[in-house]
Chains A and B, each alone.
Chain A
Amino acid sequence: MSKLTPTPGQTVGPFYGYALPFTKDNELLAPGTPGSIRLQGTVYDGAGHPIPDAILEIWQPDAEGNVVQRTGSLVRDGYTFTGWGRSAVGNTGIFTFTTVNPGPTSEGSAPFISVAVFARGLMNRLFTRIYLPENEEALANDPLLGSLPEERRKTLIARRDPDGGLSWDLRLQGPDETVFLDFQGTATGTGAYR
């Protein structure tokens, strides 16, 4: 149980572009590496328009389901999989990562990629997950997915592309609004996220 009150977040603003991105930030593996896949999608606002000033981070286990604790994300050597990457969207709201399919962290669990999203106009970062579309049984048994109605559940499951990559769009608002996660429960006060 927390004893100290957390510092509030604030919007990332419009000017992160010369600060947060770095060389190969979205390449968790060098493109073309055996086993590497492309993860891509578009960030949309409540009017269904792409957001040109959002930045995403992904954090995931490796292909065997191990949580990696290796340094080197900011200065990539092209060989070490650190599990973390960052991608600012382009003018059309599209983000791209080169990564691997995450493995299940325990037998039978549904593999997923953890996501944090930041944007101008978004007051505080939001968390969500990207599940792999395969293994229906694992998806059916996943505690988070199981707690969601079908039309919301699907916002967390990626589509498999013909080239083996993953496509997954993020919608900050609207009828197909992505499910965003609150990990703190009521500890931060029920009114904190209205």
Chain B
Amino acid sequence: MTIDAHGTHRADSSDARLAGQDGAVPDADWQDENDELVPHAEAHAAHVLDAAAESQLDISAEIAAIGEAYRRELDGGAAPETQPRLDFAPYRSSLLRHPTKSLHHADPETIELYSPAFGHQDVHALEADLTIQHNGEPLGERIIVAGKVLDGDGRPVAGQLVEIWQANAAGRYVHKRDQHPAPLDPNFTGVGRCITGPDGSYRFTTIKPGAYPWKNHLNAWRPAHIHFSLFGTDFTQRIVTQMYFPGDQLFPLDPIYQSIVDQDARDRLVASYDHELTSPEWALGYTWDIILTGSKRTWTENEAYGDAGDDEE
């Protein structure tokens, strides 16, 4: 694991001065209250100590070097990557949290070939509307996010659980550890759930989330995103990811988005504006389909028709 393979990592004292910081590790109490900071467990890693003083230029140079190396591999005939790299040093919190040994190939067995079953007992239909969970209307741009959950063979994933969570329009999460000094919205929690339809479809009504700052480096901002948690027909298809909005200027700067080094793969996380989905006088529409890995199980006819997982037993 190296941060510095391309000589781009350097202490930039001028940036630290600009920030009014001296590069010292913040005190432990402060860290405990600020989750996106260097967590206390990582403060012991020497290369993280000056993370607060690192600039966007430093991080961007590291991202660019990794991207260049990847392009050379592609030119050399390597297969395109489809998933984020677990070892992606520009996201500092990944340094001590990625396996250094190769993932071990395994054929999924028994339980792994099935998913837990969720149904309308588990999720109320109103949970898919994040704008009606309080007494008043939340502030911000009302949007509809809809699409389909499909497996790698294009089969709809029917009757399965979709969970989302997000910041409010000002870029603030309802989370005790989010210390971003942007207003909370008393009418917005930012949590939704739904059960996919027989055609794998899901649909949420919510508010467009704001971008927000985080502490990976100085002046780090996350592009606006909605967290998605998804189940397939096999537990091996389980995925948690983030949906982004088209045209975000923060994409090139964000180490989390950039941890997917392949542009085609990154594009799969970006929703499309969909005027057909836009509701007149009401909400803008964004479409985003999610493709899970292929099911390894031999399907029964009923499952293929989308009966799996519903609560009719």
Contacts and interface: CB of A to CB of B under 8 A. Distances in A.
Partners in one complex: yes
Given A4-B152, A9-B83, A114-B111, A127 B236 contact: yes
Given A6-B291, A51-B97, A61 B81 contact: no
B116 interface: yes
A177 B42 CA distance: 17
A163 B116 CA distance: 28
A6 B256 contact: no
Nearest to A51: B41
Interface string B133-149: 00000000000000000
B47 to A, nearest CB: 12
A10 B174 contact: no
B81 to A, nearest CB: 5
A47 B85 CA distance: 20
| Among B83, B112, B176, B259: residue with most chain A CB under 10 A | B83
Interface stretch (B17-25, B199-207, B237-245): B237-245
B110 A182 contact: no
A95 interface: no
Contact of A4 (B45, B86, B265, B291): B291
A70 B114 CA distance: 12
Given A114-B235, A124-B84, A192-B83, A182 B105 contact: yes
A71 B238 contact: no
Interface in A1-35: 1-20
Contacts of B313: 69-71
Given A2-B153, A73-B118, A121-B97, A179 B41 contact: no
Interface stretch (B6-14, B54-62, B87-95, B279-287): B87-95
A193 B110 contact: no
Interface in B94-152: 94-112, 114-119, 121-123, 150-152
A191 B268 CA distance: 18
B87 A194 contact: yes
Interface of A: 1-20, 45-47, 49-53, 57, 59-61, 67-75, 82-84, 102, 105-106, 109, 112, 114, 116, 118-127, 143-144, 147-148, 152, 172-173, 177-185, 187-194
Given A72-B121, A188-B293, A189-B81, 17 more contacts: A4-B152, A4-B153, A12-B227, A15-B178, A49-B42, A59-B111, A67-B111, A69-B117, A70-B117, A74-B122, A83-B116, A119-B97, A122-B86, A127-B236, A127-B238, A152-B101, A177-B99
Interface of B: 35-36, 39-42, 44-45, 73, 78-88, 91, 93-112, 114-119, 121-123, 150-154, 161, 163-165, 167, 173-178, 189-191, 193, 227, 229, 235-236, 238-242, 256-257, 259-260, 264-266, 268-269, 290-294, 296, 309-311, 313
